[in-house]
Amino acid sequence: MKKIFSLFSTFNHIFIAPYASLSSPLVVVIILMLTMSCNTSETDTAVPPGGGGEANPELKTNVKALQNFQDMRFGMFVHWGPVSLKGTEIGWSRGREIPISEYDSLYLKFNPTKFDAEEWIRIAKDAGMKYFVITSKHHDGFSLWPSKYTDYDIENTPIKRDLLKEMQQACENQDILFGTYYSVLDWKHPDYTTRYNDPRPVEESNMAVYKEYLFNQVEELITDYNTNIIWFDGQWEASWTHEMGMELYKHCRDLKDELLINNRVDKGFKGMAGMTDSIAKYAGDYGTPEQRIGSFNNQFPWESCITICKQWAWKPDDVMKSPKECIHTLIKTVGGDGNLLLNVGPMPDGRIEPRQVEVLKEIGDWLDVNGEAIYGTRGGPWLPTDAWASTNKGKKVYLHVMATETRLLQLPLLEGMKIKKAKILGGGDVKVEVDRNIMLSLPEELPSDYAYVIELTTNGVFPSLENIIVN
């Protein structure tokens, strides 16, 4: 049954206006008026909607793996390979900014002697990240591990070490979940049947041969590297079909049932908004909005992948986001019930750029205080806005306030919800008044200029926003 909560149904935006009766010039009132429709009669379903697509109707997303993934909320994405020697984009610059013969020879000079897997994973951990996804093979076809099926791999670079293994072990040592990105598209492989800036005749290629190569390589990632997430990509070209996507999904799950596989394994991925067009038809465990925060959706799991700079792979002096921007991105993502996979592109010597490490550290410091409002939470019960977002866990509701100049918050009452206690994470009292709205008065001093969190202890009754899926 659908109920409409509409306290001020003519407004559905947020207003920030001076609050006349209080004297401080800092005092601003945020009047939040959301027209909300919610469903309180249904409980959360235990079976997630994703899985192996129409060819594998019995193959549903592994519930335990998915819950663990959603509880983590924040991970590190890494785009790295020989192309970092040039500072151009991974995959896409082959035959564009860099001539093909030069691009394909870069691996002969790839010698990241300062690479230290434990250090990378420590950086991720200090940032408050709980999982790690590395490009094992991007569109350029280079394999970051010694693959039995190709010579175009790490074994034939001057560094020779198995860097992927080192990363997997560091993740295990430091309790970070290890995942691998793998591009089904391969513009270097002779048998992949779409060319990109590449004069080799397509007639000489054979997708069946390439498919076998791909399936074999993915098997290596699962059995030899015990990957927990396979982050597929490059599914959009005509060479890759819906049937192949579903078959690949099944191949992976047959090898390891607790594996999570993103929706780019198949053709259901809808543009950069990243969600799956018909979950029953297409394979994939979660949606992948790219370079944007996904819309609120607690019916199909999702993860936004967003770069800390502009490029995925390292670029010297690339424009970098501030800690505040990253923290707000994390808050809005989690408030919309999604995960954030924040990308860094390490340098050719193997180090993550120090200025990026500094930003990551600031995020980690913020999470040290506010992490309980992020990890293990779900988005809502209010829809996120630019000024604030909400998350919940058990009887706790967390209000993440990004408009840090605000000293009085006003939000619509939710049917049945009673507030028993309110405090600011990191210290500070909140005065609560409830009439037709919830009014929260805040102290002058707040724990962070980036954003702060008000923890509300409630009676545990609030609508679940189930019927508000905005794609």
Positions in the binding site for ligand JFZ (CB under 6 A)? 79, 90-91, 233, 236, 290, 305, 312
Number of CB atoms found within 10 A of residue 64's CB: 10
Per the structure block, which two tokens stand in for 136? 């094992």
Minimum gap (Å) between residue 137 Cβ and ligand JFZ: 11
Task: Give whichever of 71 and 237 is closer to ligand JFZ, judged by the CB atom.
Answer: 237
Burial 146-185 (b: 16+ CB within 10 A, else e): bbeebebbbeebeeeebbbbbbbbbbeeeebbbbbbbbbb
Task: Give whichever of 289 and 336 is closer to ligand JFZ, judged by the CB atom.
Answer: 289
CB 409 within 8 A of CB 450: no
Minimum gap (Å) between residue 232 Cβ and ligand JFZ: 10
Minimum gap (Å) between residue 225 Cβ and ligand JFZ: 19
Number of CB atoms found within 10 A of residue 446's CB: 18
Distance of CA 80 to CAs 114, 187, 324, Å? Answer: 14, 17, 25
Task: Give whichever of 91 and 128 is closer to ligand JFZ, judged by the CB atom.
Answer: 91
Minimum gap (Å) between residue 98 Cβ and ligand JFZ: 15
**Containing H/E element for 330?**
helix 323-335
**Containing H/E element for 304?**
strand 303-307
Taking phi first (over 0 means left), then psi (-120 to 50 degrees means alpha), and beta for anything else, what does residue 176 get? beta
How does DSSP classify residue 325?
H
Minimum gap (Å) between residue 306 Cβ and ligand JFZ: 10
Place of tokens 């967390």: 398
Strands 229-233 and 177-183: parallel
Strands 303-307 and 452-458: unpaired
Task: Give whichever of 69 and 182 is closer to ligand JFZ, judged by the CB atom.
Answer: 182
Minimum gap (Å) between residue 402 Cβ and ligand JFZ: 26
Number of CB atoms found within 10 A of residue 2's CB: 9
Task: Give whichever of 53 and 91 is closer to ligand JFZ, judged by the CB atom.
Answer: 91
Helix axes 354-370, 323-335, angle to 10 degrees: 50
Minimum gap (Å) between residue 244 Cβ and ligand JFZ: 18
Task: Give whichever of 90 and 440 is closer to ligand JFZ, judged by the CB atom.
Answer: 90
Minimum gap (Å) between residue 348 Cβ and ligand JFZ: 18
Task: Give whichever of 271 and 416 is closer to ligand JFZ, judged by the CB atom.
Answer: 271
Per the structure block, which two tokens stand in for 462? 């609030």
Place of tokens 């800092």: 26
Minimum gap (Å) between residue 234 Cβ and ligand JFZ: 7
Task: Give whichever of 149 and 196 is closer to ligand JFZ, judged by the CB atom.
Answer: 196
Minimum gap (Å) between residue 312 Cβ and ligand JFZ: 5
Helical ranges in 142-301 per DSSP H: 163-173, 207-223, 242-255
Minimum gap (Å) between residue 193 Cβ and ligand JFZ: 17
Task: Give whichever of 149 and 236 is closer to ligand JFZ, judged by the CB atom.
Answer: 236
Dihedral angle sign, alpha carbons of residues 234, 235, 236, 241: positive
Sequence-distant (≥ 6) Cβ neighbours of residue 94 within 8 angstroms: 83, 100, 103, 104, 139, 140, 187, 188, 196, 197, 198
In angstroms and rounded to an integer, the radius of gyration of the C-alpha atoms of the chain is 24
Minimum gap (Å) between residue 79 Cβ and ligand JFZ: 6
Task: Give whichever of 120 and 231 is closer to ligand JFZ, judged by the CB atom.
Answer: 231
SS3 percent helix, strand, coil of the chain, rounded to 5, is 25, 25, 50
Task: Give whichever of 96 and 161 is closer to ligand JFZ, judged by the CB atom.
Answer: 96
Sequence-distant (≥ 6) Cβ neighbours of residue 158 within 8 angstroms: 108, 109, 110, 111
Task: Give whichever of 157 and 288 is closer to ligand JFZ, judged by the CB atom.
Answer: 288
